[in-house]
Structure 1
Amino acid sequence: MSQTTMIEARPIPSRKRRSISWNSREGRSVIYQVVAIASVATLIWLLVRNTLRNMRERGIQSGYDFMGQPFGFDVSETMIPYDVMSTYWTAFSIGLLNTLKVAVIGIVLATILGTLIGVGRFSSNFLARKICYGYVEFFRNVPIYLQLLIWYIVFTEVLPPFEEAWQAGHFYLSKGGFSFPWPVWKLGQTLALIGLLAGVVGSWLYARKASKHFDLTGQQKPVLLVSLALIVGLALLGWLAGGAPTGWNLPVKGTFQIEEGAAFSPEFLALLLGLVTYTASFIAEIVRSGISSVSLGQHEAAASLGLSKRQSMRLVVLPQALRVIIPPLTSQYLNLTKNSSLAVAIGYPDLVSIANTTLNQTGRAIEALSIVMLVYLTLSLLTSALMNWFNASAAIQER
């Protein structure tokens, strides 16, 4: 005899209506937020209104119409051409590109140097370990402004003049900066650059695939050699497809300076080395603390699998330390980018330097500074977004 189970129908609970009332906790929180936003908006409105009124009373012009006028001053270092009719848009673009150049190169070099020093803090060699420790303690505790001035004095006072420049082949180092050969840019170089970027992307995808293969099978695929083959091979293929141009623009000693080729100015080198050495000391401590956060059992487990110390560090320790390293590393990248504004102290024409000159010529202080603030805010948000994406992709996935 079958038994029939009766399931009692339960009424579907009705969704609770949200009521904005002072008697409810949720209602009070909404009211507090509305009041806070309205207060901040009112404060900003009053500040802008009073500023504009005071400027009108004193006959001070306002607005961004000056950006379309010729800027009329010389820029010592630029990545894009300009002439006497170039507008302030061009001037700010030059400053932005100069800032990006020192920030991007500085971040790459500081990351490499800081990682090597941080890993070196765990070296079994006593001398190497103490040198890394001394580097961190020295450069971390000397103000960045003072370091920039010291490097600038080295490049402008200690190095020889261009007539007696230190030479190695077609490379020159003197008070005039660092001069080096540069290819005569043609289609082949453009295609080679595209191939290089494609090789970097391809090597990154291959490294991720090799890492997943290692996690599943325990078999390690060669990553370094394959990555180098992809990068070099695709760049070489692009160069050959563009006609394999071989022309080089070589630097030579002229009458007053080293001419031709490409060069890094002493201001750029002083700023770059100061930012790199200073930031690398903090990155080294971040790497050291991240490695220290990995338990000793992980090292022992890697050793029991027959991994060498180098393999253990690269395959076991550093991947786990990344979750501790990346968040503070993002702050150091932001600090390096913002510290580049100190370039004005040594005469490097970065964004802040261009803005200061523009301010002195036009008197548009608020407008010039607002452009600088907007640019640095945008760069900081982009850097944070990129590092947050990298942090999410590097997070350890639970099985």
Structure 2
Amino acid sequence: MSAPKRRLSWNDPSVRSVVYQVLALAAVGFAVWYLVSNTLTNLSARNISTGFGFLSREAGFAIGESAIAYTPADTYGRAVMVGLVNTLKIAALGIVLATILGTLIGIARLSKNWLVHKLARIYVEVMRNVPLLLQLFFWYALLTENAAGPRQAANPLPGVFISNRGLTMPSLEGQALDWMLGGLILAILCTILLGHWGRKHQEKTGRVFPLGRAALGLFIGLPLIGWLLSGASLALNVPELKGFNFVGGVTLSPEFAALLAGLVIYTSAFIAEVVRSGIQAVNQGQWEAAGSLGLKRGQVLRLVVLPQALRVIIPPMTSQYLNLTKNSSLAVAIGYPDIVSVVNTTLNQTGQAIEGILIIMAAYLTVSLSISIFMNWYNKRIALVER
């Protein structure tokens, strides 16, 4: 017996739902078409060229700090790539450092030591309520106005100089450096695998695997093996003062240092509250049960409480990572050449502001979605699975 045919009726909620969604989609499509058409018409009337063809033209301007090779003879596309890499570099370092500092301060907020608790609380309340832009100006002024020139640079350690050009220090050079970096990456991967195996081993036997000592051995041994395999060809490039600046070594610019310090200190205050609330969300009985097994407070926090608190911490932590990444756009205020600064220079020279803004929007949208996808994947991975 065939099923009765469904009659379309306006009284059917599902029919009305489909109609409303189609109308809403049509309205959005019409609005987008109107805006794009109107913009192209106005640009054509003013003889303003459109498109992204300018990215293949010679840029003709210098960028003060670049993680990849760049000269003014390179294209605008290369310049935009330099700005994007600079943004990714500051965002990645900022996320790692802010997470470490914020976690430590969040744990300190719950300390039974009165002084530690109060200092952590003061830090959080002050840093959260001072605007980030003001903090960036403060750190930049501190690093530039109170520092002497290269000839009068402070020399706290051999080969290390602090001046208004930034922090200059020795750097490693040679073929062995690549081998040592490979050994370091291998050590990180081995530590992650050992940690996973150690948890499984503890669940089966009840014995705690000494992961800390094993990781220390890996982080020392594997880079050392890489150094030996490369023929021990590693040289120390010590900076020297020649003329009006230092030659050799590596220099951490005041702009980069000020931006990194501002982002880390500001964001860590919010992360500290996320960590504190996540730990407090774990039932007090978990502390008492773990303590009754003879575990120390630090072991209880690391082995019992924090793994459960992560399920509460991860979602708001994702928002803080996204905020840090987007707040890095304030770099233009202190002269750090991030993607916003580079694209601003590009659109001032080419006059193609719409394309420039679209490039910035696409870059931040891609980075933010990538962070969200990874954090959502990790959140699902640690979520409780009901049986």
Q: Shared fold (TM-score greater than 0.5)? A: yes
Whose radius of gyration is greater, 1 or 2? 1
The aligned counterpart of 1:3 is: none
**C-alpha spacing 1:265/1:130, structure 2 compared with 1 (3 Å):** same
Aligned partner of 1:173 in structure 2 is: 162
Letter in 2 for 1:176: R
Q: How far apart are residue 211 of structure 1 and its match? A: 1.8
1:5 corresponds to? none
Secondary structure of residue in 2 paired with 1:173? strand
Q: 5+ unaligned residues in a row in structure 1: which ranges?
A: 1-10
In the alignment, which of 68, 76, 87 is matched to residue 56 of structure 2?
Answer: 68
Distance in 1 (alpha carbons) for counterparts of 2:280 and 2:60: 55
Q: 1:15 to 1:306 in 2, by over 3 A?
A: farther
Deviating more after overlay: 73-82 vs 23-32 = 23-32
Separation in structure 2 between the aligned mates of residue 213 and residue 16 of structure 1, nearest angstrom: 60
Aligned pair partner of 1:320 in 288, 295, 308:
308
Q: Distance in 2 between matches of 1:287 and 1:154?
A: 30
Identical amino acids, percent of aligned pairs: 51
CA-based RMSD of the aligned residues comes to 1.8
2:372 match: 384
Amino acid aligned to 1:181: P
| Offset of residue 194 of structure 1 | 2.0
Say if 1:380 and 1:16 are closer, same or farther in 2 by CA, change over 3 A.
Answer: farther
- 1:150 matched to which residue of 2? 138
**1:184 Cα offset (Å):** 1.1
Deviation, 1:287, is: 0.4
1:174, distance to aligned residue in structure 2 (A): 1.8
Q: 1:17 to 1:145 in 2, by over 3 A?
A: farther
1:92 lines up with 2:80 in the alignment? yes
Note closer, same or farther for the CA distance 1:329–1:20 as it changes in structure 2 (3 Å cut): farther
Per-residue deviation, residues 162-193 of structure 1 (Å, max 9, x unmatched):
2232221222222110111111142x222222
252-261 or 115-124: which moved more?
252-261
1: CA distance, partners of 2:341 / 2:384: 43
Compared CA separation, residues 30 and 308, structure 1 to 2 (3 A): same
What do the CA deviations read for 1:20-69 (whole angstroms, capped 9, x no partner)?
A: 65342222222222221221111111100000001111111111110000
Equivalent position of 1:289 in the other structure? 277
**CA distance in 1 between partners of 2:270 and 2:44 (Å):** 47
Count of residue correspondences: 386
Q: Deviations over 1:305-337 (max 9, x none)?
A: 101010011001101100111111011111111
AA in 2 matched with 1:354: V
What is the CA-CA distance between 1:360 and the residue it aligns to?
0.5
With normalisation by structure 2, the TM-score equals 0.95
- Structure 1 position 127 matched with structure 2 position 115: yes
2:304 is aligned with 1:304: no
Aligned residue number for residue 105 of structure 1: 93
User: What's the CA shift string for 1:321-380, capped at 9, x where partnerless?
Assistant: 001111110111111111000000000000000010011100000001101100100000
Question: What's the offset of the Cα at 1:228?
Answer: 2.6
Give the aligned partner of residue 12 of structure 2: 24
Moved more, 259-268 or 31-40: 31-40
Match of 1:275 in 2: 263
Which segment drifts farther, 117-126 or 205-214?
Answer: 205-214
- Is residue 210 from structure 1 mapped to residue 198 from structure 2 by the alignment? yes
- The SS at the match of 2:167 is strand
Q: Secondary structure at the match of 2:59?
A: coil
